[in-house]
Amino acid sequence: MKTVPTTPFDDQKPGTSGLRKQVTKFQQPGYLENFVQSIFDSVPELSGGTLVVGGDGRFFNDRAIQTILSMAAANGVKKALVGQAGFLSTPAASCVIRKYGAAGGFILSASHNPGGPSGDFGIKFNGQNGGPVVESVTDKIYARSLEIDAYKISDNPPVNLDTLGTHQINGMRIEIINSVTDYANLMEGLFDFDAIRNMFQSGFEICFDAMHAITGPYAKEIFVNRLGAPSESLMNAVPLPDFGGGHPDPGPTYAKDLFSKMFNGDMPDFGACSDGDGDRNIVLGKQVYVSPSDSLAILTANAHLVKAYAKGISGVARSMPTSRAADRVAEKLGVECFETPTGWKFFGNLLDAERITLCGEESAGAGSDHVREKDGLWAILMWLNIVAVSGKSVEDILHGHWQEYGRNYYSRHDYEGVEKSKAEAVMDRVAHQLDTLPGQTFKGETVLKADSFAYTDPIDGSVSKNQGMRVEFESGSRFVLRLSGTGTVGATLRLYLENYTPPTGDLHADVQTSLSSLRDIADEIANIKSILGRSEPSVIS
């Protein structure tokens, strides 16, 4: 064991989900080590406790794991549980932390960002409830990283991560565990696998795209081995360090093959994909794809059909920019509905206190109280279970939902890689108008309220300010602007647009057309195009 002198890096402030940077940054001497030591220094329970380590298999995953293990041993960790080959999806890591009573876990991933030597890498620290640690802890970690002057590391040869077994370094026991089994068992306990298996046996076809990221082995075990789907149901199921050169971002832009399969020719009954670390999902039916905001609402409305939630749910939460489709369902069910800032860490307290059972985000994330992370395969299994027991197709469930509750048309426009000062200028422009906007009319829409979203955690009372600008109109339409906390190049400005059509209105309009007037209003108020010097967003989802 040795103590290595080091100097602080001032850019180690954890964003929406941990520290996410280009691989080249993480390769700088001491960069990863400083951050990891700052965590050991800020979370004393790790010393003497159990630590879970795993990642999405991207380039630098194995190197980072060796460093973390050597540092864990030097920092007094008693036992480390490591996924075989260094693999653990984000929800599986959360499952393992909870199941084995670990003090926390390191999850190595930059989620849907591209991988490889010129791609991105990331690290997040989850606490003993299995979820991302709350802001007070990430603030502490960041403060420590600004003053750190040394890190502790054991001098040991690399540990063989590829074979199941146990090792010992510097008094710390390491167990290389099967990455999939605990998670697959958890899923089998939540869902009616017999019903899904029977549906597959009767010819119901699925297509799942793992995008060469972490969910391949999980999907193989669950869909093929346990549920009997043919192995051809899986696409891109082998995890690769560079994701095959792709962008493991589930959606029409990057999961092109899946989308074209579900929209053309002899399409399967059900399509789905997930992201780099397996916490996001998109579900498709024949010629439809379910927007994540609608998915949360539909899962909430139908949860009682699923074994684990048959007794009903205690409440639901959504991130602030997520459409308010779920709110309508919560109202009908008579359960609480919470609006939290973006990022899964804000759901943890509500789940721990059993105030909510389900939660989700517009960015393709949904989850429940079974773990403390969003969970891609869980959401897909929820849908499959609901389809199996209701006998209805994805299309029918989606359209039926709109007919009952009306439709929240919704879209997110991302302006990526813009200059930070320009992105901030857009936010400032709106901030300066917050007091004067209410009552003003734009293209026939009168502003009802405008604010900068602040959240008071109902459980611990902590306050998170500046979580995005909200401008809401009397018609119920609204737009939201916020800056991304996960980008690695420049700044990303996100514009979220939403309006509502009741069941009696046109439920099948084109989404962008339906939102185009609101988009113009947002531009008039925020001056996005002229400040950024961009006529179009980089990505529309």
- Which one of 144-152, 264-272, 332-340, 342-350 is the stretch in contact with ligand VG1 (CB under 6 A)? 342-350
* Nearest residue (CB) to ligand VG1, 34 versus 319: 319
Q: Does 12 bind ligand VG1 (CB under 6 A)?
A: no
- Closest residue by beta carbon to ligand VG1: 111
- Number of residues interacting with ligand VG1: please give it, by CB under 6 A: 18
Q: Does 138 bind ligand VG1 (CB under 6 A)?
A: no
CB 300 within 8 A of CB 326: yes
CB 179 within 8 A of CB 82: no
Q: Quick check: helix, strand or coil at residue 388? A: helix
Look-up of token digits 């864990």: 72
Name which position in 8, 116, 268, 485 contacts ligand VG1 (CB under 6 A): 485
Name which position in 70, 89, 111, 291 contacts ligand VG1 (CB under 6 A): 111
Q: What is the dihedral of CA 181, 183, 187, 189, to 10 degrees?
A: 70
Q: Does 375 bind Co ion (CB under 5 A)?
A: no
* Nearest residue (CB) to ligand VG1, 18 versus 315: 18
Name which position in 343, 348, 367, 468 contacts ligand VG1 (CB under 6 A): 343
* Nearest residue (CB) to Co ion, 79 versus 280: 280
Q: How far is the CB of 408 from ligand VG1 (least distance, A)?
A: 17
Question: 34 is in the binding site of which of ligand VG1, Co ion, none (Cβ under 5 to 8 A by kind)?
Answer: none
Give 114's strand partners.
none
Q: Does 279 bind Co ion (CB under 5 A)?
A: yes
Q: Which residues contact 356 (CB under 8 A, 6 or more apart)?
A: 313, 314, 315, 316, 317, 336, 338, 347, 350, 369
DSSP-derived secondary structure for 52-93: EEEE---TTHHHHHHHHHHHHHHTT--EEEEEEEEE--HHHH
* Nearest residue (CB) to Co ion, 90 versus 302: 90
Name which position in 16, 302, 340, 477 contacts ligand VG1 (CB under 6 A): 16
Q: Does 411 bind ligand VG1 (CB under 6 A)?
A: no
Q: Cα 252 to the chain's mean position, in Å?
A: 17
- Which one of 156-164, 206-214, 340-348, 349-357 is the stretch in contact with ligand VG1 (CB under 6 A)? 340-348
Q: Does 277 bind Co ion (CB under 5 A)?
A: yes
For 455-517, give the secondary structure using H, E and C. Answer: EECCCCCCEECCCCEEEEECCCCEEEEEECCCCCCCEEEEEEEEEEECCCCCCCCCHHHHHHH
Could you give phi then psi for residue 454, rounded to 5 degrees?
-120, 145
Question: 357 is in the binding site of which of Co ion, ligand VG1, none (Cβ under 5 to 8 A by kind)?
Answer: none
Q: Does 342 bind ligand VG1 (CB under 6 A)?
A: yes
Query: What tokens were used for 410?
Result: 């919704």
- Closest residue by beta carbon to Co ion: 111
Look-up of token digits 């590829």: 162
How far apart, in whole angstroms, are the C-alpha atoms of residue 188 and residue 222? Answer: 8
Q: How far is the CB of 233 from ligand VG1 (least distance, A)?
A: 23
Indicate the burial class of 333 (C-beta count within 10 angstroms; 0-12, 13-18, 19 or more): middle
Question: 485 is in the binding site of which of ligand VG1, Co ion, none (Cβ under 5 to 8 A by kind)?
Answer: ligand VG1
Q: Does 498 bind ligand VG1 (CB under 6 A)?
A: no
Dihedral sign, Cα of residue 57, residue 61, residue 62, residue 65: negative
Residues 105-124 that bind Co ion (CB under 5 A): 111
Binding string to ligand VG1 for residues 44 to 83, with x set by CB under 6 A, is what?
A: ----------------------------------------
Q: Among 166, 335, 364, 401, which Cα is nearest to 248's?
A: 364
How far apart, in whole angstroms, are the C-alpha atoms of residue 237 and residue 273? Answer: 11
Q: How far is the CB of 485 from ligand VG1 (least distance, A)?
A: 4
Q: How far is the CB of 154 from Co ion (least distance, A)?
A: 31
Dihedral sign, Cα of residue 265, residue 268, residue 269, residue 272: negative
Q: How far is the CB of 363 from Co ion (least distance, A)?
A: 9
* Nearest residue (CB) to ligand VG1, 227 versus 532: 532
Residues 354-393 that bind ligand VG1 (CB under 6 A): 361, 363, 365
Q: How far is the CB of 200 from ligand VG1 (least distance, A)?
A: 28
* Nearest residue (CB) to ligand VG1, 17 versus 293: 17
Catalytically active residues are 111
Q: Which residues contact 69 (CB under 8 A, 6 or more apart)?
A: 53, 80, 82, 159, 169, 172, 174
- N-term to C-term CA, the chain: 49
- Which one of 225-233, 259-267, 282-290, 337-345 is the stretch in contact with ligand VG1 (CB under 6 A)? 337-345
Q: How far is the CB of 120 from Co ion (least distance, A)?
A: 12
Q: Does 89 bind ligand VG1 (CB under 6 A)?
A: no
CB 192 within 8 A of CB 389: yes
Query: What tokens were used for 272?
Result: 């789905």
Indicate the burial class of 465 (C-beta count within 10 angstroms; 0-12, 13-18, 19 or more): exposed
Q: Does 344 bind ligand VG1 (CB under 6 A)?
A: yes
Binding string to ligand VG1 for residues 243 to 282, with x set by CB under 6 A, is what?
A: --------------------------------x---xx--
Question: 239 is in the binding site of which of Co ion, ligand VG1, none (Cβ under 5 to 8 A by kind)?
Answer: none
Query: What tokens were used for 110?
Result: 């930059």
* Nearest residue (CB) to ligand VG1, 49 versus 376: 376
Q: Does 56 bind Co ion (CB under 5 A)?
A: no
- Which residues form the interface with ligand VG1 (CB under 6 A)? 16-17, 111-112, 275, 279-280, 319, 342-344, 361, 363, 365, 484-486, 494
- Which residues form the interface with Co ion (CB under 5 A)? 111, 275, 277, 279-280
